[in-house]
Amino acid sequence: MKNSQLYKGSLNTIIMKLLEENGKMYGYEITQKVKAITQGELNITEGALYPALHKLEADGLLDVEMEKVDNRIRKYYKLTEKGTTETVNRLAELEDFIRNMQTIIKPNLEF
């Protein structure tokens, strides 16, 4: 992941948004989806991703499903009901933040 507190502070919201859109995903799939969406600009490392996933799970926002794929166990993550509600809240908060930052950076433009 880029060495920026802005990205690091948004990681949980990014994960939750992807899970909201895709239902369930496994870790590597999440990293590749972010990389594809951002055209390689944002790379989430395993060292950042898995602690975030475990924290979201511990907070009751994610459920984990184990599935056997090609003779190995794969962990799929999906939002809980609480996680779905929290995703809506976090996305609204992020949109407000972005709007406020745009106003501060370019105060003469209307958004």
| pTM of the entire predicted model | 0.85
For residues 19 and 79, is the Cβ–Cβ distance under 8 A? Answer: yes
Q: Which helix (H) or strand (E) holds 77?
A: strand 72-79
Provide the pLDDT for residue 109: 62
Give residue-wise pLDDT tens across range 20-78: 999 999 999 999 999 999 999 899 999 999 999 999 999 999 999 999 989 999 999 99
**pLDDT attached to residue 111:** 53
Question: Could you tell me the two tokens for 62?
Answer: 């994610």
Report pLDDT for 31: 96
